[in-house]
Each structure stands twice: as C-alpha cells, then as structure tokens.
Amino acid sequence: MNVLFLCTGNSCRSILGEATFNHLAPDGWRAMSAGSRPTGTVHPRSLALLQREGISTEGLHSKSWDGLPVTPDVVITVCASAAGETCPAYLGPVLRTHWGVEDPAHVTGTDEVVDAAFVTAYRILRARIEALFALPLDTLADDRGRLQQAMDRIGTEIS
C-alpha cells in the first residue's frame, strides 16, 4: 500500500508524515510525500526534529507530485484548511483523506515557540499514524470503504 502525504510546499508537514510513517510502517506499507508547489528544500527544523526522534532523514527532499515514483493508493492531505490554506487536489483513482495540521513553517517568535510548533505538528502526525497502524490493516486493505472511514475518523478525532 503506497501512501502519499501531500501539502503545498513539501517542506515540513508532509515530510514529517513521510518519514514518521516509514519509520513505523509494517511490511507492505510505504509512504512518500510531495507538494503541489514544492519549496525545493526541506525545512531544517523538520530534519533536526526527525533526527532527535531517531527517524532517518536519508533521501528526504522537497518534490513535486508530478514526478512520483509510484502511483499512490492513498493520499493524505495535511494542509490546515482552518487556517485558510487551500489543499491541493490530487487527481486519480485513489483513496483520499484529510489530516489537517497547522504549518509550523509559518509560526513566528522565539526559537522555543517555533520549535514547539514543529513538535506539535510531529506529535499530531505520529499519533494519527500510530492510530492507523493499530487498525486491522490486513482486513482494511481489502475494504477501501472501511479504510476510508477509519482514516477520515483518525483525521478528525486525533489531535
């Protein structure tokens, strides 16, 4: 099962999602990330946070959804529509769900405030990914409707 974490810039949230997902993923599940308008660089605070958490940052880079290595089965958008962000719409026959997370790259203030925003985004994404992996994935992988419902519920109930 190939999962795409999608946002606009592909520098923070989608990168955190990709790396954390792959760190925790069971056999047969793999994540990638992309942006509709990638910044071209991964935010250094994202990389530092992942390294502190013991999660590999090898191969992480900001990239466009135009050059994905495989077609995803699932697309998880992570834009924060409550903050007025427009979520990119991935076209194709995929399961889509929304796990909105505030963009830590837009937080201003002291280093402590900005770092806290990155940690919050990471913790939300990790909790949602852990909730997904706690589901009966063998059963759900063959029932797209139930998988859709479960992933939508995770995106609205876990923060």
Burial letters 9-39, b for 16+ CB under 10 A, else e: bbbbbbbbbbbbbbeebeeebbbbbbbbebe
Q: Is there a catalytic annotation at residue 7?
A: yes
Q: Which of 7, 34, 55, 76 is catalytic?
A: 7
Instruction: Please tell me which residue in 47, 87, 131, 158 is annotated as part of the active site.
Output: 87
Q: Is 79 labeled as catalytic in the residue annotation?
A: yes
Give me the helices (H) in the chain, please. 13-24, 44-52, 111-133, 137-140, 144-157
Residue 87 annotated among the catalytic residues of the structure:
yes
Active-site residue identified among 3, 31, 79, 132: 79
- Length of the chain equals 159
Residues catalogued as catalytic: 7, 79, 87
